[in-house]
């Protein structure tokens, strides 16, 4: 990695902050939205199962429907788009889609694929494993989305303050998916305020407690 690329990436990470005031009425170009979603889809995931579904909410009427579910947080309607990140409780069903093409292309022996799928399905017999994997891996996609948005000149705000049960009902979310968070994306109307961070000594432990 070149020094310039490293500097740029670290600058994006440093500058990304939660923005709650957006330039209302801005419509994100389709090409930008597609790039944002493509970059999000490249997030890492366990077994490469890609345990997420992204519900893109940019229709004003749908945003108005979401507003009370998100307790009236105005970034819902002022941002260009709200993306609901959902975790896939049945991501094991993606295994054939993920590994099948690798076998066909000669990158993976069929026996390896079969063993992997058996291992995955064995783990997914336990609902807690499925839920943990859905939440963990969808959160990786959510963070990737926010970093990609910042790199593209947009700002974001991850939102956990909403009624998940009402969201599922209002937006017809299938039982396969669990809401993880909402993320508003748009052009900042005012800069985000600085936020304090704990020191490295406060957040890290070397080798063992």
**Does the residue 58 lie in any domain?**
yes
Over residues 80-124, the pLDDT tens digits come to 999 999 999 999 999 999 999 999 999 999 999 999 999 999 999
Domain count, the chain: 1
Per-residue pLDDT in tens (0 to 9) along the chain, 209 residues: 678 877 799 999 999 999 999 999 999 999 999 999 999 999 999 999 999 999 999 999 999 999 999 999 999 999 999 999 999 999 999 999 999 999 999 999 999 999 999 999 999 999 999 999 999 999 999 999 999 999 999 999 999 999 999 999 999 999 999 999 999 999 999 988 888 899 999 999 999 99
Could you tell me the CATH number of the domain that includes residue 98? 3.40.109.10
**Does the residue 78 lie in any domain?**
yes
**Does the residue 126 lie in any domain?**
yes
Would you state the pLDDT for residue 6?
Answer: 76
- Range of 51's domain? 12-203
Interacting residues of 131 by C-beta distance below 8 A, sequence separation 6+: 87, 89, 178
Query: Strands 52-57 and 81-88: what pairing?
Result: antiparallel
**Does the residue 39 lie in any domain?**
yes
Torsion sign (Cα): 133, 130, 68, 23: positive
**Does the residue 4 lie in any domain?**
no
């Amino acid at each position: 990695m070149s020094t310039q690329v490293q500097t740029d990436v670290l600058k994006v990470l440093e500058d990304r902050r939660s923005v709650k005031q957006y330039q209302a009425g801005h419509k994100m170009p389709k090409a930008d939205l597609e790039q944002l979603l493509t970059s999000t889809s490249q997030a890492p995931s366990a077994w490469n199962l890609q345990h997420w579904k992204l519900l893109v909410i940019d229709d004003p009427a749908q945003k108005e429907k979401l507003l009370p579910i998100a307790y009236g947080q105005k970034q819902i309607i002022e941002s260009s788009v709200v993306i609901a990140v959902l975790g896939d409780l049945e991501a094991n069903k993606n295994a054939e889609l993920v590994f099948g093409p690798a076998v066909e292309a000669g990158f993976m022996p069929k026996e390896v694929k079969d063993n992997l799928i058996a291992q995955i399905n064995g783990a997914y017999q336990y609902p807690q494993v499925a839920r943990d994997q859905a939440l963990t891996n969808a959160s990786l996609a959510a963070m990737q989305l926010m970093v990609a948005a910042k790199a593209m000149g947009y700002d974001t705000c991850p939102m956990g303050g909403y009624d998940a049960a009402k969201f599922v009902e209002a937006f017809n979310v299938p039982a396969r998916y669990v809401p993880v968070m909402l993320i508003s994306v748009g052009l900042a109307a005012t800069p985000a305020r600085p936020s304090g961070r704990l020191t490295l000594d406060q957040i890290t432990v070397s080798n063992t407690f």
